[in-house]
Structure 1
């Protein structure tokens, strides 16, 4: 915008023209309707609503419910059928979910409009059997003419819901960035060693060499490869990750979260170490299997399965544990087994897997290479810089490609699309909330001013000023409390239903993670799973809204209490 404001203004001209035309049409319709009514009809309608709105006459709420159920039904089929690849699934699911959510909100609003007047009548009936005149008069007035109350309630509720949704979206999008970075890297740093001649014989020696890097806290060397599972019929692409179970928990423990596995990584590594001797003796490798592989191969605890390491042959593994996801393996059971997106992932102990691998393929004279490394640095900036320098420019420790967790976080946080979207949402939510507050205050003030004659008559009939104030407090309290509750409900619905398809994962502009294929890009939109985060500022904003409602209520009571009876009756326009 700052670089070329004229071009931006020209591109936005069409949207501005549409907004102006829509505003003019709305003004013309409003003026035309006002000209068709005389002052007596307007006052009668304001005192007691007799005309049914058009949405009730055409049963628009039922239409919205039908569209909602249809949209969510199709979304459920798309989600659980498994017939679509991740790209088509995401492209279809996002608009369908948003469409269903929008019409769910419309249906809920229209149902509320149907029920609200009945609830007001019920409240007036119950209040008439009590001793308080203020509550009975307030509820009776709102039940006779609920339109003004409904307008204020819906205006404030929708603005509150939009603010809540924006706050939760911003917090969830911000939390998504470190989750994606940790999942992509699997540790502080990870990548392929520049030396292709490393094998299992040099595991301890190479590990000790990496430990000489200043600032390094832990390192794990291992092996990653694509295999074929499910035999020749299924031919699923399964990615195998062999790590040194002796130190992998200390290296990558911070990158494993409850979304990846309910069990701690240290507990999983203990299971692999416990089965090391038995696995080498029986030539069956204990394996931790992710949910995609578990589902695709129809596994159960402690069952064996074979993976084909082309061109050498199959190796038998035993499923000893199931996890949801394995960091650095972005897979999907519906991926179709493409080269860049596997259909599942398997985690094994390198010290168990290497002897079995060598034994199974002894006639070929091959040994298990070391082709991947995970590195954790100390948390101070000097150590991080030292380790990063060694892994990028060192003579013996270069990882290429290198996945740098902190660099990925920085790149994603500065992504222009993410920054622009969050900025637009923030401005929109703030503007909507301010306009709603101003509109509610002005509408409440005008309503109180227009009813000064009614209040003066009640004063003349013997009502005390405190009773009039109590009557207005009842009316406004019902409006504001209902608005806040509806805002919380609609905000929660929007967040639960729309956020999972609206939160997106950008691609880092630099580094190894910037080179993503189209299939992999659509996979990482949902892996790791999206978390909905409630920010602490949400409660601050809700508290501020409650405070504003209390202040507005006090102002309305003051408007009612100030004028005298004689002045109000003398100045009445009728």
Structure 2
């Protein structure tokens, strides 16, 4: 632990640094400050110099609320003006910054980009499945002639497409999380278009993400059902002749 000397109304006083934090409430980020225990500071000065304690009256209080529910505390203070007034409400400030136009615009752009990418991915999946089923119709017909049940053929096609879906979802999720971790802290700004403090970080809502992945799998699974049904209804003779023509 290091010892530094600070200057205040009563004179210079050495203090021991217990910890270093990036910033303190009510202090600008770029300005240095120290958080000192006032009773201890007064006792140390009295013991060292014998001088009368300096009358320093606190001008603000920091209070915490259970479960970060600050609204009841703010209402209680508002009903007792003699206790002072609330200069800053951390929960309300977080909500205001979250709903700021710049933040809402960024969220809208991300949601729009995600929806567009999901639509293109679903279209590409459907197109790939249709093309694959058409190109391998002759192969599937041969398997059916050899005694493979149509359900088994449809199941084989479903397993192949499911492998692509799972691989794509896992790769896309991992890539999205990495990109979010690397880019979100640098592109989020506050209402003054400056980097906020505390710095923004990517918060992953795992229940929402897992529900979304399950929904995508369900939608793509519904696409496979009519394809499997159509594959079972295809005429063997037509598929065999089409394969011979190619």
CA distance in 1, matches of 2:59, 2:70: 28
| In the alignment, structure 1 residue 318 sits paired with structure 2 residue 6 | no
* 1:445 to partner: Cα distance: 1.5
Deviations 1:326-373 (A, max 9, x none): 6416676xxxxxxxx224x43322211234456778879953342323
Question: Is the Cα contact below 8 Å between 1:377 and 1:387 reproduced in 2?
Answer: no
1:354–1:367 contact (8 Å) kept in structure 2: no
Q: Which residue among 204, 209, 215 is the counterpart of 1:538?
A: 209
Aligned residue for 2:87, secondary structure, equals strand
Q: Which residue of 1 aligns with 2:117?
A: 432
1:289-328 maps to which residues of 2 (within 5 A)? 300=1, 303-309=2-8, 313-319=11-17, 321-322=18-19, 324=21, 327-328=24-25
1:8-37 residue CA offsets vs partner (Å, 9 max, x unmatched): xxxxxxxxxxxxxxxxxxxxxxxxxxxxxx
Task: Give the conservation status (yes or no) of the 8 Å contact 1:306–1:316.
Answer: yes
For 1:384, the equivalent position in structure 2 comes to: 74
Aligned ranges for residues 152-167 of structure 1 at < 5 Å?
Answer: none
Residue 354 of structure 1 corresponds to 42
CA RMSD of aligned residues (A): 3.7
Return closer, same or farther for 1:329/1:398 CA change in 2, 3 Å cut-off: closer
Distance 1:416 1:360, change over 3 A: farther
Q: What is the alpha-carbon distance in structure 2 between the residues aligned to residue 459 and residue 376 of structure 1? A: 71
CA distance in 2, matches of 1:489, 1:405: 32
Q: Does 1:557 align with 2:192?
A: no
Q: Which runs of 5+ in 2 are unaligned?
A: none
> Residues 329, 531 of structure 1: CA spacing in aligned structure 2 closer, same or farther, 3 A cutoff?
farther
Secondary structure in structure 2 of the residue aligned to 1:403 = coil
Q: Please state how far the C-alpha of 1:502 moved relative to its aligned partner.
A: 3.1
Conserved 8 A contact 1:500-1:530: yes
Q: C-alpha distance in 2, partners of 1:354/1:364?
A: 9
Helix, strand or coil at the partner of 2:12? strand
Distance 1:315 1:385, change over 3 A: same
2:31 corresponds, among 339, 342, 350, to 342
Unaligned runs of 5+ in 1: 1-299, 333-340, 508-517
**Bigger fraction of residues in strand:** 1
Residues 552/361 of structure 1: CA separation in 2 closer, same or farther (3 Å cut)? farther
1:421 match = 106
Q: TM-score, normalised by structure 2?
A: 0.76
For 1:366 and 1:455, the matched residues in 2 are separated by 93
Which of residues 502, 526, 545 in structure 1 aligns to 2:187? 502
What is the aligned partner in structure 2 of residue 370 from structure 1? Answer: 58
Q: CA deviation at 1:411?
A: 2.4
Deviation at 1:540, TM superposition (A): 0.7
* Mapped contact 1:325–1:528 kept (Cα < 8 A): no
Measured in 2, the distance between the counterparts of 1:304 and 1:470 equals 72
Q: Tell me how far apart the structure 1 counterparts of residues 83 and 160 of structure 2 sit (CA, whole Å).
A: 73
Q: Distance in 1 between matches of 2:102 and 2:25?
A: 25
Residue equivalent to 1:275: none
* 1:21-420 to 2 correspondences below 5 Å: 300=1, 303-309=2-8, 313-319=11-17, 321-322=18-19, 324=21, 327-328=24-25, 341-343=30-32, 345-357=33-45, 366-375=54-63, 384-388=74-78, 390=80, 394=81, 396-399=82-85, 402-420=87-105
Q: How much does 1:457 deviate?
A: 3.8
Question: The residue matched to 2:34 in structure 1 has which SS?
Answer: strand
Shift of 1:315: 0.7
Aligned partner of residue 231 in structure 2, secondary structure: helix
Aligned length: 243
CA distance in 2, matches of 1:544, 1:492: 19
SS in 2 for 1:479: helix
Cα drift, residue 529 of structure 1: 6.8
Separation in structure 2 between the aligned mates of residue 499 and residue 416 of structure 1, nearest angstrom: 17
**Residues 327 and 365 of structure 1, relative CA distance in 2, 3 Å threshold:** closer
Alignment partners' CA distance in 2, 1:318 and 1:477: 62
**Residues 417, 409 of structure 1: alpha-carbon distance in 2 compared, 3 angstrom cutoff:** same
- 1:432-480 per-residue CA deviation (whole Å, 9 max, x = no partner) reads 2123113211321232123323322444455543553344234223212
Distance of 1:494 and 1:425 partners within structure 2: 12
